[in-house]
Structure 1
Amino acid sequence: MNRLLVALLAAFDAILAVAVGLVAALAPLTLLWIFGFGADAPWAGLWPAAGRIWQLGHLVPLAVSLPEELTVPLGIDAAAASFTVSLAPLALTVFTAVFAFRSGARAAAAGAWVVGVLTGAVVVVAAAAAVLATTANDIAAVEPWQAVALPALVYTVPAFAGAVSVAWRDGDDGVVDSVRVVLDRRGGAWSEVPGLIARGTAIVLMALIGVGALLLTAAVLLRGSQIIALFQSAQVDALGASVFTVGHLAYLPTFVVWAVSFIAGPGFAVGVDTVVSPVGTQVGPLPGIPVLGALPESASPWLLLLALLPVAAGALAGWTTRSQLVRDRAGVPGPEPMGARVVVTLGIAVLSGAGAALLAAVASGSIGPGTLASVGPDPGPLALTVGLEAAIGAAVLLLSPRGRDEPGGALEPVQRVPEPAPTTEPIPVAFDATPDPHRDDDGMAGPETTADRGSRPPVD
């Protein structure tokens, strides 16, 4: 495809991703302005509020300073009137990342992924700069470089990942193919190692996210009464309940990452010097956020068995990549290369830990003053535990010898061709070809007739 056309399509994808994200933030705020504030609502503050929500959803911290006309009636201490909000509603982040991944993949399929990724990044930088310039307000301030760079990273990194994944699979006649040529020269299975590592890492992280979502669903169902009680204690009307619900949906991926950290073992914090983990739960006074009613009141030793789930995710990744290695080496003589399997195991462990650390970093931050300045999982412990658990599971399947009944296994018996049974030469027997009238067709003596007896010479 023409590079100019690829650039135009990538620019359109980037503009659409930014526009949809802004509309997703603007639509509920518009309803709040109409039904909550009425006709006297200051409409000039609608767009700045929507822009700040979009920026927060793209990992931009907000420095909030509440005015006195708001803090005095509500009885808020002046020391608590200024704080930072950096816990991102990851629903907006996930949408932009998925959209960018698909855009990068399409650009790579068109044969110009570098042009597509760079064009999308430039367009997002321009859009983020425009949002920054038009959303200035005194209540929520942002750092200009963060307001431009962080949304660009949220778009560019997934777009690059999508482009490289397709280019590695289909080729790009450029940098990716050059890397494959270098690996092909090493021989063996080394050319497939990067793809196997990426596949195994994706399996581990997707499996963890899946089990995290299941755990969150189970917690909501089991402690639904506490969540409803917190909704009722807020004493909000239908509009307020709708705002609560929309906010919970926006932060749903954030809570899933918290559940992943709980499963892996380190747990997460809901304030300074607090922890919620399978080992124990230690929390102080919590804000009246309904979803916090799903937190367990106490720990149980049985919850430690949840740590087997990341090990199982690593085993699944190891089984998948080992099977792919066997298929790729079908018909190739010799045992499977141990060096490639070791590298794949280490790569899955390292990248799974790095991915878990990234998830923890974007799912943690501040939601208010005081103890609420630190909520979410700690990236370091989560990276270490997920990396070790994934390494154990992957090593069991990748480094163990294959069984006798598995193709290509080191213990598979050699198929031998059966030797033919020894044969002996028949012993030649001399016989008279003259037919004997006293024998029938099968060589047996037949019944003797009267004529035969008459022709027999007399016996002395």
Structure 2
Amino acid sequence: MNLRDRLHRQPPPTPGGSRRPTLPADWPLAVRAGVEAVALGWGVVVLPTLVLYLVDSSRDAAAALTLGGVLRTGTGIWSLGFGGAMGSPDGDYGTLSLPLLGLTLLQAWLTRSSVRRARISGPAAGAIAVLAATLTALLIAVATHPADSRTWTAVIGVTVLNAAVTAGYLQRSGRGWPAPAAWQERRPRWLGAALRIARELALVLLGLAAVVALAGLIAGSGRVARLHDAVAGGSLAATVGLVALQLGWLPTWMVWALSWLAGPGFVVGAGSVFSPTRVLAGAVPALPLLGGLPTAAVGTWGGALPFVIAVAAGIVAWRHRVVLRELPLRQAAATAATVTALLGVGVLLVGLAASGQIGPGRMAEVGPRVGYVAVIVALMVLVGAGLVAVLPHPRTRALTRRGVEATAAATSAAVGSAREHLKTRTDRR
């Protein structure tokens, strides 16, 4: 029996023993999972930053004295993935708080991998793993906190992310809380259908956003290349660092692309707007990724682009048409309404997560026009999923047939009454 199996093996209860709560047997593995996940996520940012600095530095004594500054810079960049911010509004360069959603996704993957390798036994061990992750993030923030920056929010972000990923893993593996598992087995059929449709539609919207984002980068490839050459200056280390940084912002760029597809678009600086029907641009930072910003509206047909979301919702709902038709009409309508609410709230949250600041002055307002985008996406989803869920439903067809028959009967009766009335008037004459 190896160490992992010995730690997971619970000792047999002693008769008449005390029932005081004790640590789970695998608590060392849980601690390791929490520390490992956060340390790896931080190292993924800090170590390349340090390597790039050493490559570009002269490696003399004066350069060695600034290694602490490099670590603090790396911690500041790391905090951008979890709600942190670098710089101060009063500084020359303002505040950088545009979230690195790519780093957020990477941390979620690292957390899931660490928890899965540790084979955490249950909620108690999961809580220990989350606590270890929180303390590790707090230690990093305290030890390498960059001046005039906000890293304490990264501790909260890491805690929430690790708790969500750990709880999700425990529930899926059957080692979580019994109440949610029992509810999942007893949940109504229409709710299960709504969750499946919402999950598939979210993946479809992700694919549409990726297509729009890629199209923007291809259309602006010339500007992207020129900005990249101007910023990197031909240095290999600067090129690698610049590409890595922009990969972290690529999911953020995809959220902007979805906002553009929905119609309201996004802003890069106060007073600007980038949407299919209107482009009002201004000066932006020399970030190569921003070279893919649209330079003009797509034309009059740009107003029809949001209906692509409605079509996508209709196609996804049509794939589940058999289940929707077997449900009562009210439950089918409730399914469409639930899908609409889930997607609307989801778009609202990711829109907020893709908003921030990238400099002083007007650059303090950057990101999607969150409220408008969430409303438009919800409306399009309601149209697409609602029509498929309600119109082809057998109950709807029966009601329609009954209404048509009643209308035809009423029309025939009215025509007959009119004929009798005319006949009576003719006989009187």
Q: Which band: TM-score by shorter chain?
A: 0.7 to 0.9
Q: In the alignment, which residue of structure 2 is the partner of 1:339? A: 330
Q: Distance in 2 between matches of 1:386 and 1:2?
A: 50
Q: In the alignment, which residue of structure 2 is the partner of 1:24? A: 44
Q: Distance in 1 between matches of 2:151 and 2:47?
A: 25
- What SS class does the counterpart of residue 88 from structure 2 fall into? strand
Aligned equivalent of 1:148, options 128, 134, 155: 155
Higher mean alpha-carbon deviation, 385-394 vs 12-21, is at 12-21
For residue 105 of structure 1, report the CA deviation from its aligned partner.
8.2
Q: Distance in 2 between matches of 1:193 and 1:5?
A: 40
Task: Choose between structure 1 and 2: higher helix proportion.
Answer: 2
- What SS class does the counterpart of residue 335 from structure 2 fall into? helix
For residue 171 of structure 1, report the CA deviation from its aligned partner.
9.2
For residues 300-349 of structure 1, what are the alpha-carbon distances to aligned partners after superposition, in whole Å with 9 as ceiling and x for unaligned?
A: 223333312321332244234444556xxxxxxxx532222222211110
- The aligned amino acid for 1:47 is L
With over 3 angstroms needed to count, the CA separation of the structure-2 counterparts of 1:5 and 1:237, relative to structure 1, is farther
Q: Distance in 2 between matches of 1:102 and 1:110?
A: 11
Aligned equivalent of 2:374, options 383, 395, 413: 383
Q: In the alignment, which residue of structure 2 is the partner of 1:175? A: 179
Q: Distance in 2 between matches of 1:21 and 1:258?
A: 25
- The aligned amino acid for 1:130 is L
- What SS class does the counterpart of residue 22 from structure 1 fall into? helix
Gaps of 5+ in 2: 1-7, 11-23, 400-429
With over 3 angstroms needed to count, the CA separation of the structure-2 counterparts of 1:225 and 1:111, relative to structure 1, is same
For residues 168-227 of structure 1, what are the alpha-carbon distances to aligned partners after superposition, in whole Å with 9 as ceiling and x for unaligned?
A: xx696721244357xx4xxxxx52333333222222222111111111112222221121
- The aligned amino acid for 2:178 is G
Gaps of 5+ in 1: 66-78, 185-189, 327-334, 404-408, 412-460
- The aligned amino acid for 2:161 is V
- What SS class does the counterpart of residue 141 from structure 1 fall into? coil
Aligned equivalent of 2:244, options 241, 246, 249: 246
- What SS class does the counterpart of residue 133 from structure 2 fall into? helix
For residues 417-446 of structure 1, what are the alpha-carbon distances to aligned partners after superposition, in whole Å with 9 as ceiling and x for unaligned?
A: xxxxxxxxxxxxxxxxxxxxxxxxxxxxxx
1:193 aligns with 2:186: no
Higher mean alpha-carbon deviation, 192-201 vs 285-294, is at 192-201
- The aligned amino acid for 2:158 is P
For residue 291 of structure 1, report the CA deviation from its aligned partner.
1.6
Does the Cα contact within 8 Å between 1:270 and 1:372 map onto a contact in 2? yes
With over 3 angstroms needed to count, the CA separation of the structure-2 counterparts of 1:173 and 1:270, relative to structure 1, is closer
With over 3 angstroms needed to count, the CA separation of the structure-2 counterparts of 1:100 and 1:324, relative to structure 1, is farther
Q: In the alignment, which residue of structure 2 is the partner of 1:136? A: 145
Does the Cα contact within 8 Å between 1:275 and 1:282 map onto a contact in 2? yes
Q: Distance in 1 between matches of 2:117 and 2:322?
A: 28
Write the mapping of 1:425-444 to structure 2, written as runs, cut at 5 A. Answer: none
Q: In the alignment, which residue of structure 2 is the partner of 1:437? A: none
Q: In the alignment, which residue of structure 2 is the partner of 1:46? A: 70
- What SS class does the counterpart of residue 296 from structure 2 fall into? coil
Give the count of matched residue pairs: 372
Q: Distance in 1 between matches of 2:115 and 2:345?
A: 22
Q: Distance in 1 between matches of 2:247 and 2:115?
A: 27
- The aligned amino acid for 1:179 is W
Does the Cα contact within 8 Å between 1:365 and 1:376 map onto a contact in 2? yes
Task: Give the TM-score of the pair, scaled to structure 2.
Answer: 0.77
1:220 aligns with 2:217: yes
- What SS class does the counterpart of residue 38 from structure 1 fall into? coil
For residue 122 of structure 1, report the CA deviation from its aligned partner.
1.4
For residue 94 of structure 1, report the CA deviation from its aligned partner.
0.8
Aligned equivalent of 1:13, options 30, 33, 43: 33
With over 3 angstroms needed to count, the CA separation of the structure-2 counterparts of 1:161 and 1:231, relative to structure 1, is same
1:301 aligns with 2:310: no
Higher mean alpha-carbon deviation, 201-210 vs 154-163, is at 154-163
With over 3 angstroms needed to count, the CA separation of the structure-2 counterparts of 1:230 and 1:136, relative to structure 1, is closer
Q: In the alignment, which residue of structure 2 is the partner of 1:269? A: 267
For residues 381-404 of structure 1, what are the alpha-carbon distances to aligned partners after superposition, in whole Å with 9 as ceiling and x for unaligned?
A: 12111111111111122223358x
1:206 aligns with 2:203: yes
For residue 371 of structure 1, report the CA deviation from its aligned partner.
1.1
Q: Distance in 2 between matches of 1:5 and 1:249?
A: 40
Does the Cα contact within 8 Å between 1:87 and 1:365 map onto a contact in 2? yes
- What SS class does the counterpart of residue 39 from structure 1 fall into? coil
Higher mean alpha-carbon deviation, 8-17 vs 54-63, is at 8-17
For residue 137 of structure 1, report the CA deviation from its aligned partner.
3.5
Q: Distance in 2 between matches of 1:100 and 1:212?
A: 26
Aligned-pair Cα RMSD in Å: 3.1
Q: Distance in 1 between matches of 2:199 and 2:51?
A: 39
Does the Cα contact within 8 Å between 2:256 and 2:354 map onto a contact in 1? yes
Q: Distance in 2 between matches of 1:200 and 1:159?
A: 24
Write the mapping of 1:101-140 to structure 2, written as runs, cut at 5 A. Answer: 112=122, 114-138=123-147, 140=148
Q: In the alignment, which residue of structure 1 is the partner of 2:99? A: 88
Q: Distance in 2 between matches of 1:245 and 1:236?
A: 13
For residue 294 of structure 1, report the CA deviation from its aligned partner.
1.2
For residue 249 of structure 1, report the CA deviation from its aligned partner.
1.1
- What SS class does the counterpart of residue 376 from structure 1 fall into? strand
Q: In the alignment, which residue of structure 1 is the partner of 2:167? A: 160
Does the Cα contact within 8 Å between 2:190 and 2:327 map onto a contact in 1? no
For residue 373 of structure 1, report the CA deviation from its aligned partner.
0.6
1:354 aligns with 2:345: yes
- Percent identity, aligned pairs only, is 25
- The aligned amino acid for 1:33 is Y
For residue 352 of structure 1, report the CA deviation from its aligned partner.
0.4
Structure (1 or 2) with the larger CA radius of gyration: 1
Q: Distance in 1 between matches of 2:232 and 2:120?
A: 55
- The aligned amino acid for 1:386 is V
Q: Distance in 1 between matches of 2:170 and 2:390?
A: 31
- The aligned amino acid for 1:305 is A
